[in-house]
Structure 1
Amino acid sequence: MFNFFKSKSLKEKLEDRYKKLLEESYKLSTVNRKLSDEKAYEADQILQQIESLNKQQ
């Protein structure tokens, strides 16, 4: 109930950013393929950061 006082961890922030980038990439895929590919690349970079955090833990 009072979870809004708890700040998000770095991993949670990266996961939110990753999901947002994938959604943007999907929406752009019907309009502008180049921008869609750029968003997908950014999402892949975020995923690599998430994986490296998982390996450290």
Structure 2
Amino acid sequence: MFSFLKPDPVKKLRKSYDLILEQAMQAQRKGDIKTYSLLTAESEQVWAKIAALEAVK
């Protein structure tokens, strides 16, 4: 009945994913490849969580 009041975990994860990718892009532009690769790996983990949640729906 009040499902619109429940927070959507996928939406929160997508926002986090976008933020991490933005930070990775900025690190790459600055030439910090190590940070870029770490952030990219972290974003892939977040994307795997998103995919798992969407598969359940």
TM-score bucket (shorter structure): 0.7 to 0.9
Q: TM-score with structure 1 length normalisation?
A: 0.83
Pairing 1:1-57 to 2, within 5 Å after superposition: 8-31=7-30, 32-57=32-57
User: What percent of counterpart residues are identical?
Assistant: 19
Q: What are the ranges of 5 or more consecutive residues in structure 2 without an aligned counterpart?
A: none
Report runs of 4+ in structure 1 exceeding 4 Å deviation: none
- The two structures, once aligned, show a CA RMSD in angstroms of 1.3
Q: TM-score with structure 2 length normalisation?
A: 0.83
Matched residue pairs, number?
Answer: 52
Q: What are the ranges of 5 or more consecutive residues in structure 1 without an aligned counterpart?
A: 1-5
